[in-house]
Chain A
């Protein structure tokens, strides 16, 4: 079973261009999470998606950032008109559907290798 896949691994963009980051969850996983890690900082939650639904986008910047997880295909994190401050590592994680009747344990999230975005 392949792990969480992210591509590209490295992405270089000039200011004002668009960046598209892709995440393919593990087989059987229907939940996807996007995180950003800025230099010298921990992971920051951005958005939580299920297939065709955004569940929680409380960590997403209000402008220029969007995410989707279509019925078919990978989840996409899209950053429009990138600025230098967007340079960071972006991680995707996936988890399986939750247990019926509530959770005893927190669902484990499996992380991808990340995409390192550099904005020139």
Chain B
């Protein structure tokens, strides 16, 4: 059964701390891994990862994929209160049967 597991489920840190969010997966015919930030309504797209070992960066956020060990991490450095959100990991998989499997998300809260 295809699955995407995120950890931790929730995390509370102080402003300025660095956090690492984890996403592991077991799917058939992996195509890509996606990270989203969800605050109020629609998840905001952050990264799409398809190749192992290539770090993607956007400001204080970065992410990397390990296709051998089947996981990805999302790093946020120098956290700010505006980083408080739910971070979703999703995996696109399938060949003829395309699908996207979402994890349950990591709820991140940044204390001022």
Contact flags B54-71 to A (C-beta < 8 A → 1, else 0) = 000000000000000000
Q: Majority SS of interface residues in chain A?
A: strand
Q: Majority SS of interface residues in chain B?
A: strand
Q: How big is chain B's contact interface, by range?
A: 20 to 34
A56-B86 contact given A89-B100, A108-B105, A110-B104, CB 8 Å threshold: no
Q: Is A33 an interface residue (CB 8 A)?
A: yes
Nearest 9 A-B pairs (CB), nearest first?
Answer: A42-B45, A45-B42, A111-B102, A45-B41, A43-B43, A105-B107, A106-B86, A108-B105, A108-B86
Number of A-B contacts (CB under 8 A): 56
Shortest distance from the beta carbon of A21 to any chain B beta carbon, whole Å: 15
Q: Is A116 an interface residue (CB 8 A)?
A: yes
Shortest distance from the beta carbon of B52 to any chain A beta carbon, whole Å: 21
Query: In the complex, are the beta carbons of B42 and A108 less than 8 A apart?
Result: no
> Which chain A residues have a beta carbon within 8 Å of chain B's beta carbons?
9-10, 33, 35, 37, 41-45, 48, 56, 59, 89, 91, 104-106, 108-111, 113-114, 116
